[in-house]
C-alpha cells in the first residue's frame, strides 16, 4: 500500500517541478541505500564533512565544500562566513555584527521569494542588504558605487524567479566585485551545472541537494577553502539551528555520485516524449495552445507552456490549475507549475513524473477542459480573489 494512503495523504502527481511544498524530490534507490546504511552508525562528523568536501570539490571544480541544512541556510551561513572569517569569537557574536563588515550588495531584480524572501536569508545572519539598481535594470557602475569599506559580500541569484533581462551578467558582476576585493556568493539552488559558477570565479556556489540532484533535504556549499571553512564553523554559532545530520551529508555524497552516472540524454529523451504527447493532444482542445519551452536559466530541461484563452476554453489558466489540484474523489490531484497563471498560462514540468503518470496528467486536463465546455456558465473566477482564497484555505491549519 502506498504510504500516502496509509497516512491519509492525497497521492499527488507533480508536474510542477521540484517544490518543497510537495516533498522536494523523489530520492533515488542508491541514495536511500546509502542513507539507510549510515543511519544506525556513529561517525565523526568532521571526517564525514571532510569526505563530502572532497566529493563536492570534485563535482563542482572547487577547492572544497561542505553540506548544510538547505540552500537557504547556505546563503545565511555563506554571508556569515564573509563577515566573520574563521574567528570563533565573531562567529558567536552574530547576529550582532559590531566591528564587522556587514553589508551585502545584491541586484534588486534578484530579490526573489523561493518560498521565503532571499533578503531574509541574508538578514538572518545580521547582515544588511544593499540593493543595486531598479527592479528591471541594473548596471555595473551602480554595483561599483554600492560597494564600500563596509561591504562583506556580493550575492548573485540564479533563478527563473529573478528578472531575466536588464541584470548585470554574472561575469561582469564578479569582475566588479573582485576589483573591489569583495567575495561573490552565487545562489544556484536549482541549477544543473555544478561547475559553471566556480569556473566563472564565484567564491562560493550554493546548491540544493533536494532539487535536481534527488538527494535528501540539504544544501551544498562549494568554494574557496577559507570561505567554506568559515561557513562550516558557523555550526558553532547561528548555523546550529540549520544543522544537517549524518544522513543529509551521506545523502549528498550519494546524490552527487548518482548525478555523475545518470544517463542525462535518456532522461531528456523520455521527458521529450511526454511533452510531445501532451502538446499534440492539448493543441486539439478548444481555447488551448501549447508549446514546448526551454528552461529560462538554461538547465537542460524543457516544459510545456499551456496557454488558456478563457473565452474559448470557458475556464481560465488559474481555475484550470485549481481544478486539477482539487479533483473529484478517486482522482489524483495534479499540481501544475502555475506561478504566472494570471498571464493566462501554466507549465507542465516533466522532471518529477513517475512511470505511468504522464497519461493520467493528460486525461485529467482533457477531462477538466471538457467539464468546463459542458458547464452551463464559464468556470472563470476573478484572479484577484485567488490569493485570498488560498490563504483562507491555509489559515485553519492544522485543522
Ligand X SMILES: *Cc1c(COP(=O)(O)O)cnc(C)c1O
Q: What residues line the site for ligand X (CB under 6 A)?
A: 20, 70-72, 114, 157, 159, 187, 189-190, 208, 219
Torsion angle defined by CA atoms of residues 213, 219, 222 and 228, in that order, rounded to the nearest 10 degrees: -160
Q: Rounded to whole angstroms, what are the CA distances from 63 to 9, 35, 116, 175, 227?
A: 43, 26, 30, 20, 10
Instruction: Say how far apart CA 15 and CA 97 lie, in whole Å.
Output: 43
The set of cell numbers assigned to 302 is: 524543457
- Least distance to ligand X from the beta carbon of 114, Å? 4
- Least distance to ligand X from the beta carbon of 65, Å? 15
- Least distance to ligand X from the beta carbon of 69, Å? 8
- Least distance to ligand X from the beta carbon of 73, Å? 7
Instruction: Say how far apart CA 262 and CA 13 lie, in whole Å.
Output: 23
Q: Beta partners for 12?
A: none
- Least distance to ligand X from the beta carbon of 332, Å? 25
Which 8-state DSSP code applies to residue 50?
H
Q: Which is nearer to ligand X, 247 or 319 (CB)?
A: 247
Q: Could you tell me the end-to-end alpha-carbon distance of the chain, in angstroms, rounded to an integer? A: 26
Torsion angle defined by CA atoms of residues 330, 334, 339 and 344, in that order, rounded to the nearest 10 degrees: -90
- Least distance to ligand X from the beta carbon of 398, Å? 22
Q: Which is nearer to ligand X, 20 or 281 (CB)?
A: 20
- Would you put residue 382 in left (φ > 0), alpha (ψ -120 to 50) or beta? beta
Instruction: With beta carbons less than 8 A apart as the criterion, state whether 128 and 102 touch.
Output: yes
The set of cell numbers assigned to 354 is: 513517475
Q: Which residues contact 134 (CB under 8 A, 6 or more apart)?
A: 108, 109
- Least distance to ligand X from the beta carbon of 20, Å? 5
Q: Which is nearer to ligand X, 84 or 217 (CB)?
A: 217
Q: Which is nearer to ligand X, 18 or 64 (CB)?
A: 18
Q: Which is nearer to ligand X, 80 or 189 (CB)?
A: 189
Instruction: Say how far apart CA 257 and CA 259 lie, in whole Å.
Output: 5
- β-strand 13-15 against 334-336: which pairing, if any? parallel
User: 45: how many CB neighbours lie within 10 A of its CB?
Assistant: 15
Indicate the SS3 state at residue 277. Answer: helix
Instruction: Say how far apart CA 169 and CA 196 lie, in whole Å.
Output: 13
Q: Which is nearer to ligand X, 221 or 308 (CB)?
A: 221
Q: Which is nearer to ligand X, 184 or 369 (CB)?
A: 184
Q: Which is nearer to ligand X, 79 or 365 (CB)?
A: 79
Rounded to the nearest angstrom, the gap between the alpha carbon of residue 243 and the centroid of all alpha carbons in its chain is 19
- Least distance to ligand X from the beta carbon of 353, Å? 20
- Least distance to ligand X from the beta carbon of 220, Å? 9
Q: Which is nearer to ligand X, 25 or 151 (CB)?
A: 25
Indicate the SS3 state at residue 107. Answer: strand
Amino acid at each position: 500500500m502506498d504510504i500516502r494512503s496509509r497516512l491519509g495523504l492525497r497521492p499527488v502527481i507533480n508536474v510542477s517541478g521540484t517544490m518543497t511544498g510537495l516533498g522536494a524530490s523523489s530520492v533515488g534507490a542508491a541514495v536511500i541505500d546509502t542513507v539507510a546504511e549510515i543511519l544506525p552508525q556513529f561517525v565523526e562528523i568532521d571526517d564525514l564533512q571532510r569526505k563530502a568536501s572532497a566529493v563536492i570539490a570534485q563535482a563542482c571544480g572547487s577547492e572544497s565544500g561542505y553540506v548544510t541544512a538547505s540552500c537557504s541556510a547556505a546563503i545565511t551561513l555563506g554571508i556569515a562566513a564573509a563577515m566573520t572569517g574563521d574567528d570563533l569569537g565573531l562567529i558567536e557574536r552574530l547576529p550582532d555584527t559590531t566591528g564587522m563588515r556587514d553589508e551585502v550588495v545584491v541586484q534588486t531584480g534578484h530579490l526573489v521569494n523561493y518560498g521565503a524572501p532571499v533578503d531574509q536569508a541574508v538578514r538572518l545572519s545580521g547582515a544588511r542588504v544593499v540593493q543595486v539598481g531598479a527592479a528591471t535594470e541594473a548596471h555595473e557602475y551602480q554595483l561599483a558605487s554600492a560597494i564600500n569599506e563596509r561591504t562583506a559580500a556580493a550575492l548573485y541569484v540564479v533563478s527563473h524567479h529573478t528578472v531575466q533581462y536588464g541584470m548585470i551578467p554574472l561575469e561582469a558582476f564578479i569582475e566588479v566585485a573582485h576589483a573591489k576585493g569583495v567575495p561573490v556568493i552565487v545562489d544556484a539552488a536549482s541549477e544543473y551545472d555544478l561547475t559553471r559558477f566556480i569556473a566563472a570565479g564565484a567564491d562560493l556556489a550554493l546548491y540544493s541537494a533536494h532539487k535536481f540532484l534527488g538527494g535528501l533535504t540539504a544544501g551544498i556549499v562549494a568554494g574557496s577553502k577559507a570561505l567554506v571553512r568559515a561557513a562550516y564553523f558557523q555550526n558553532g554559532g547561528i548555523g546550529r539551528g540549520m544543522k544537517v545530520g549524518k544522513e543529509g551529508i551521506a545523502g549528498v555524497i550519494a546524490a552527487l555520485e548518482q548525478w555523475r552516472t545518470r544517463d542525462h540524454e535518456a532522461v531528456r529523451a523520455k521527458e521529450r516524449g511526454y511533452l510531445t504527447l501532451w502538446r499534440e493532444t492539448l493543441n486539439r482542445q478548444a481555447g488551448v495552445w501549447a508549446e514546448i519551452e526551454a528552461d529560462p536559466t538554461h538547465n537542460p530541461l524543457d516544459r510545456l507552456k499551456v496557454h488558456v484563452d478563457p473565452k474559448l476554453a470557458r475556464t481560465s489558466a488559474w481555475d484550470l490549475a485549481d481544478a486539477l489540484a482539487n479533483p473529484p474523489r478517486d482522482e489524483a490531484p495534479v499540481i501544475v507549475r502555475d506561478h504566472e497563471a494570471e498571464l493566462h498560462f501554466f507549465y507542465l514540468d516533466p522532471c518529477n513524473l513517475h512511470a505511468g503518470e504522464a497519461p493520467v496528467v493528460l486525461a485529467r486536463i482533457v477531462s477538466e477542459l471538457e467539464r468546463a465546455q459542458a458547464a452551463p456558465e464559464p468556470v472563470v473566477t476573478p484572479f484577484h480573489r485567488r490569493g485570498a482564497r488560498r490563504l483562507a484555505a491555509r489559515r485553519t491549519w492544522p485543522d
